[in-house]
């Protein structure tokens, strides 16, 4: 009998499947289908509050948090921790069996507080207490880099996220290796390149500015940068592990197959579709992007150029880079809604 798609990917390639923002049944299904880890982001608690199968449970957890914690901002942080804990428990057997190489589950802090390195560190250490297999997501901005310098010597496993440009990856890898060598400690470090959101951002730019560009060329933009990021990471033997995130199409998984990478995807709409379609396992990451395609993207899309060139962004520009702002806006919207719900629930008590 033919094995399921992700099981075959895991056996026939070094590419790893992770699940993003899952419900508990989705986590079970993902693990059954070969998922080796899990990512969560600051939209997770809002998703659970609005999920028809989880609304009652999520509100019951939130109400208990509000009894325990008086400050609304701290309550939102603790609410996320308590909602992620059962997911982390699902992955603990894998974490233990692999001696910490797999089964990691990430948590990202309050997106309204990520301009303060001290607060990023504080929340990371707070979330680490949730479970031994928690991996702390850190935005790759200037404050995020400062936080990474503090957390590496404390042996905190991290997933550096909100990475779109080659310059961001290089800054992360160089900072991590410099600090880790100095400290003599090399905690797990993942580098999340968000190709799908990059494509969304560039697509919005094309529509808003009536840019005349072939849809076939535009389709390749985010993954063109991802391929370059992976190439540089491999050539320089950086110790970070590549994660492909922000999938907006099945190609954001299938085009990464073959690389020693993690690809994290939602269950509904991506993982379930790939299982149903059951495509062949084909190495695609190493397919070169035609120079003609790169040339057109560089010419017509300024923020593709900034992301594609190693010197396209300075560290000071990371946080205000358009794709970073687009990605972060989804988190602040969701987190802001949870804060509003917290305020309303307190008023009812």
pLDDT tens-digit readout, 144-186: 999 999 999 999 999 999 999 999 999 999 999 999 999 999 9
243-256: string of b/e by CB count within 10 Å (b at 16+)? bbbbbbbbbbbbbb
Confidence of residue 2 (pLDDT cuts 50, 70, 90): confident
Instruction: Write the CB contacts of 251 (distance below 8 Å, at least 6 apart in sequence).
Output: 219, 223
pTM given for the model: 0.95
Q: How many domains does the chain have?
A: 1
Residue 269, domain CATH: 3.20.20.70
Confidence of residue 282 (pLDDT cuts 50, 70, 90): very high
Domain of 143 in residue numbering reads as 5-348
255 and 225 Cβ atoms separated by less than 8 Å: no
Confidence of residue 349 (pLDDT cuts 50, 70, 90): confident
Q: How is residue 175 written in tokens?
A: 């900072």
Instruction: Please provide residue 186's backbone torsions phi and psi, each rounded to the nearest 5 degrees.
Output: -125, 80
**Nearest-angstrom CA–CA distance, 214 and 230:** 25
- pLDDT, one tens digit per residue, over 96-154 is 999 999 999 999 999 999 999 999 999 999 999 999 999 999 999 999 999 999 999 99
Taking residue 168's Cβ as centre, other Cβ atoms within 10 Å add up to 28
């Amino acid at each position: 009998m033919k094995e399921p798609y992700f099981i075959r990917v895991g056996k026939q390639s070094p590419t790893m499947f992770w699940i993003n923002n899952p419900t508990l049944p989705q986590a079970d299904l993902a693990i059954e289908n070969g998922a080796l880890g899990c990512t969560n982001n600051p939209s997770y608690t809002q998703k659970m509050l609005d999920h028809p199968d989880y609304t009652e449970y999520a509100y019951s957890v939130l109400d208990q948090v509000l009894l325990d914690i008086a400050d609304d901002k701290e309550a939102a942080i603790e609410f996320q921790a308590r909602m992620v804990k059962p997911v982390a428990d699902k992955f603990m057997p894998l974490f233990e069996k692999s001696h910490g190489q797999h089964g990691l589950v990430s948590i990202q802090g309050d997106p309204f507080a990520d301009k303060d390195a001290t607060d990023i560190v504080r929340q990371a250490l707070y979330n680490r207490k949730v479970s031994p297999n928690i991996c702390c997501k850190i935005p790759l901005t200037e404050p995020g880099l400062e936080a990474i310098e503090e957390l590496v010597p404390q042996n905190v496993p991290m997933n550096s996220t909100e990475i779109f440009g080659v310059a961001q990856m290089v800054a992360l890898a160089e900072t991590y290796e410099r600090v880790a060598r100095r400290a003599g400690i090399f905690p797990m470090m993942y580098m999340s390149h968000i190709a799908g959101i990059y494509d969304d951002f560039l697509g919005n730019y094309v529509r808003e500015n009536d840019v005349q560009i072939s849809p076939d060329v535009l389709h390749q933009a985010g993954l063109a940068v991802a391929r370059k990021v992976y190439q540089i990471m491999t050539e320089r033997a950086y110790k970070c592990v590549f994660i492909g995130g922000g999938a907006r199409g099945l190609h954001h998984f299938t085009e990464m197959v073959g690389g020693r990478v993690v690809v994290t995807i939602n269950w509904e709409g991506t993982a379930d579709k790939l299982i149903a379609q059951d495509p062949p396992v084909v190495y695609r990451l190493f397919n070169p992007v035609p120079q003609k395609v790169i040339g057109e993207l560089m010419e017509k899309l300024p923020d593709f150029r900034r992301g594609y060139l190693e010197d396209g962004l300075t560290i000071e520009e990371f946080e205000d880079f358009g794709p970073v702002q687009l990605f972060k806006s989804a988190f602040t919207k969701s987190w802001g809604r949870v804060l509003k719900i917290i305020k309303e629930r307190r008023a009812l008590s």
